[in-house]
Structure 1
C-alpha cells in the first residue's frame, strides 16, 4: 500500500497556512483544526496587517506561492486560518490525492468553495468550473508562476476575484461533500459588510452552491430569502468576473508580464510548526 493511501497528508511535499499576526484567536483555532484532521507539520505564514485588507490577503497568498517555488516543490497545499473540514476528511483527502495523480492537467484544485459556474462533472466527486474563495486549495508550481506573473494586471481586486479570473473555468473542486468550508468567524477581508460570516453564512453558501438544483430546494440551513440572495450572487459573479477581466485588458498591454516583479510587500514571516495530537 502506498503511504499516501494510508496517510493522504504524506502526498503533499509542502502544506502552508496563512494567519494575521493580530489574529491569535484564529491561530489557536486553525492549529487545533489541522491537528484534528491528522496533519503533523505546516509552514505558517504570519502576515502583518495592512490598511488595505484585500491587498494584504493577496500579498499573503503571493508570499506563500513564492515560498513554495523557492522550495522547488511540484505543488503546494494552502489553507487560510478559518478552514473547517467536513465529514470523513481522510476519505475525502484520499480522493483528492487520487485525483491529483490522475489529472496532471488540473492546475488548481479547490477543497471547497463558492461554485458559481459548473462546467463539467469529471466523476462522482469532482467537477470543473468557476469557483470563488481561497481557504483551501492545491496549486501546481507552473500555475503558481502564472499567478505571480499576472498579479500586476489585477491590482485592486480581492484574492478570490483575482484567482478566479486567472483560473477561468479550469479550476476543479471536490464536492459531495466539499472537503472544507470556512468556519464562522469575522472576515479579514472587506466582503462581509453585513457581518454574515460570524454565524457561518459563507460556509453554508458554499455547501448550497455545490448542490444540484433539486437538492437546493431541500436545503434547510438558510432561510428562503438568503437562498435567493445566493442565487443572485451566483449570477452576479458570472457577470462580474467577465467585467473585471475586461478591465484588466488595458493593464496587460501596459505590463510585460514576463518581466513583472514577483515580489510582494506582505511583511510577514514563515514559521515551521510541528502539530501534536
Structure 2
C-alpha cells in the first residue's frame, strides 16, 4: 500500500530513494514512541512512594529502636544511613543530610525522603503524605524541599487551599522530601569541607531554597536527648505555634 502511494505522489522518485524515505519515517515514528514511553515511565516512577532514608548515629541505637517502632507501619522500608559524628554536632548532622542527598543522586532517585531518627508521626500521617504526593510531583518546579512539619517560621504564604500548601522560610529538617532537581542545588552550594560549614543544614535550606509544608503537620520531633544541643529537647510547643500561624493565613 505505502509503495504504491509514494509512486502516485512522487512518480519520478526511484525505488531506492523511496526505501530510504520509508526508513526515515519509520525511524522518526520509533523515536516518538520511545519518547512517549519514557515520559509515561517517568510519571509512573513519580507515582511511587519515595525511597526513605533515616539518619542515625552508630552510638544511638536507642533512638533507632524508637524510630523503628514509630515507622513500623510506614508504606515502604526505611533504610538506615550511618550519621556522621563530628563536633559540633550540627556539622555532623548537616554532613549526614548531604550524605543522603548524594546517595539519592548517585542512585538516580526521582525524589527521596530524608528523616532524622527523632521524627514522630501523627495519626494518619502516611495516608496524609501519600495523598499529597501527586500534587507535589506535578508542581515540583515550584518547590525544592517539602517538610512534614516546621518550626520558627520567618516568612510564609499560602500556595493552595486544597490541598493546604504553604511556602515558608523556617527551621526543622526531620522530615524532608527532596526531588531530583534539587540535589545539585544542595550539593553544589553548601560548603564541601565539613570544617567550612557556616550554618546548620536547616538554616541553609531556609536561606536558599523554596520550602513547602502543609497543615496539619504530620511529622514532629520526639522529646529526647539531643546530640546536637546537648540535653533533652522538647519542640512540641514550637511545632504547635508554627502550625497555628499557618492555619491563620
Aligned to 1:116: 154
Flag the 1:121–1:142 CA change in 2: closer, same or farther, 3 A: closer
For the 8 Å contact 2:51–2:76, the answer to whether it is kept is no
1:94-117, CA deviations, whole angstroms, 9 ceiling, x for partnerless residues?
332132233122221111111332
C-alpha separation in 1, matches of 2:66 and 2:125 = 17
| 1:78 pairs with 2:104 | no
Aligned to 2:14: none
RMSD: 2.3
Q: How does 1:97-108 map to 2 (within 5 A)?
A: 97-105=133-141, 106-108=143-145
Query: Which SS does the other structure have where 1:178 is aligned?
Result: coil
Gaps of 5+ in 2: 1-46
For the 8 Å contact 1:12–1:76, the answer to whether it is kept is no
1:83-138, CA deviations, whole angstroms, 9 ceiling, x for partnerless residues?
00113223311332132233122221111111332123422421112121100010
For the 8 Å contact 2:224–2:232, the answer to whether it is kept is no
For the 8 Å contact 1:14–1:73, the answer to whether it is kept is yes
Aligned to 1:15: 52
Query: TM-score by structure 2 length?
Result: 0.72
For the 8 Å contact 2:75–2:126, the answer to whether it is kept is no
| 1:165 pairs with 2:204 | no
For the 8 Å contact 2:226–2:232, the answer to whether it is kept is no
Residue among 174, 178, 202 paired with 1:139:
178
Q: Which stretches of structure 1, 4 residues or more, deviate above 6 A after TM superposition?
A: none
1:122-181, CA deviations, whole angstroms, 9 ceiling, x for partnerless residues?
2242111212110001001121211111111872211211121121xx210011x10100
Flag the 1:139–1:48 CA change in 2: closer, same or farther, 3 A: closer
C-alpha separation in 2, matches of 1:205 and 1:54 = 19
C-alpha separation in 2, matches of 1:27 and 1:196 = 17
C-alpha separation in 1, matches of 2:161 and 2:247 = 19
C-alpha separation in 2, matches of 1:65 and 1:75 = 9
1:217-266, CA deviations, whole angstroms, 9 ceiling, x for partnerless residues?
xxxxxxxxxxxxxxxxxxxxxxxxxxxxxxxxxxxxxxxxxxxxxxxxxx
For the 8 Å contact 2:147–2:212, the answer to whether it is kept is yes
- Counting matched residue pairs gives 197
Query: Which SS does the other structure have where 1:84 is aligned?
Result: strand
In the TM superposition, what is the alpha-carbon distance from 1:75 to its structure 2 partner? 0.8
Gaps of 5+ in 1: 1-9, 216-277
Q: How does 1:180-199 map to 2 (within 5 A)?
A: 180-190=219-229, 195=231, 197=233
| 1:204 pairs with 2:237 | yes
Query: Which SS does the other structure have where 2:191 is aligned?
Result: helix
For the 8 Å contact 2:49–2:130, the answer to whether it is kept is no
C-alpha separation in 2, matches of 1:48 and 1:59 = 6
| 1:127 pairs with 2:160 | no
In the TM superposition, what is the alpha-carbon distance from 1:196 to its structure 2 partner? 5.8
More off after superposition, 124-133 vs 135-144: 124-133
In the TM superposition, what is the alpha-carbon distance from 1:76 to its structure 2 partner? 0.4
